[in-house]
Structure 1
Amino acid sequence: MAAKDDLGRAGEDRAAAHLDALGYDIIDRNWRCPQGEIDIVARIGGVLAVVEVKTRRSESYGHPFEAIDARKRRRLWQLAYAWAQAHPDAAEHRTIRLEAIGLTGRDAATARLEHLVDLL
């Protein structure tokens, strides 16, 4: 399990660096509440982006984005609103959107990275 956790952490670090390079301001990582966890919360312009990161060694068990089904999206929306309620100053006057970053490869540093900007 430790190797999986290490890959996941490395994937989240790479995802945060990717967002930073695009001009996002990372304002929270691994935020937890009773409903679950948000991997990354970032701002860009007037948008508050709640970003789910999925890292896989391969696509043997499916593409990373396949793990973000309708149930997971509903939970991410609940978490996004819970985060906004807990951080009203940071969320005020911002549109909230869900994003996803998928990484596929044995090493997060060189894995293929895909970024979905608006996850409906």
Structure 2
Amino acid sequence: MNARGAMGKYGEDLAARRLTDAGMTVLARNWRAGRTGELDIVARDGDAIVVCEVKTRKGRGAGSDAFQHPMAAITPVKARRLRDLAERWVQEHGGAPPGGVRIDVVGVVLQERGAPRVEHVRGV
């Protein structure tokens, strides 16, 4: 695994922990739908299914403008792809639950110093 892959896996581990700490149950990680794409995390939140996209970035030093916040990576095209993948996951796993399906994003910023910042945004 290369450095970027290791950073992504670490961010996904932190995100899974955040979701679990929030009372969710992780059902799947890195679920692939052939060549269509991948869902980082699928979880259950009460009677809802949550498809969670995880974006991990390295923080930059003070004054740097080279940093893009992880949430900025969720473009309309990416959001549409996530909705399509979520629909496919639900179809392959028994249909939509009573609480429906929600798409969340967890942004992880790995600081140069100190603990990583983990931000969970529900229902993007």
Same fold (TM over 0.5): yes
Residue 87 (structure 1) aligned with residue 93 (structure 2): yes
Alignment of 1:62-101 (within 5 A): 62-88=68-94, 91-101=96-106
Unmatched runs of 5 consecutive residues or more in structure 2: 61-65
TM-score, normalised via structure 1 length: 0.90
Q: CA RMSD in A?
A: 1.8
Q: As a proportion of its length, which structure holds more helix? A: 1
Superposed displacement of residue 93, structure 1? 2.7
Q: Which has the larger radius of gyration?
A: 2
Once residues 53 and 103 of structure 1 are traced to their aligned partners in structure 2, the CA distance between those partners, rounded to angstroms, is 7
Once residues 23 and 31 of structure 2 are traced to their aligned partners in structure 1, the CA distance between those partners, rounded to angstroms, is 21
After TM superposition, which residue ranges in structure 1, 4 or more long, deviate above 3 angstroms? none
TM-score, normalised via structure 2 length: 0.87
Identity of aligned residues (%): 40
**Partner AA of 2:36 in structure 1:** Q
Given candidates 96, 102, 114, the residue that maps to 2:119 is 114
Q: 1:7 matched to which residue of 2?
A: 7
**Partner AA of 1:28 in structure 2:** A
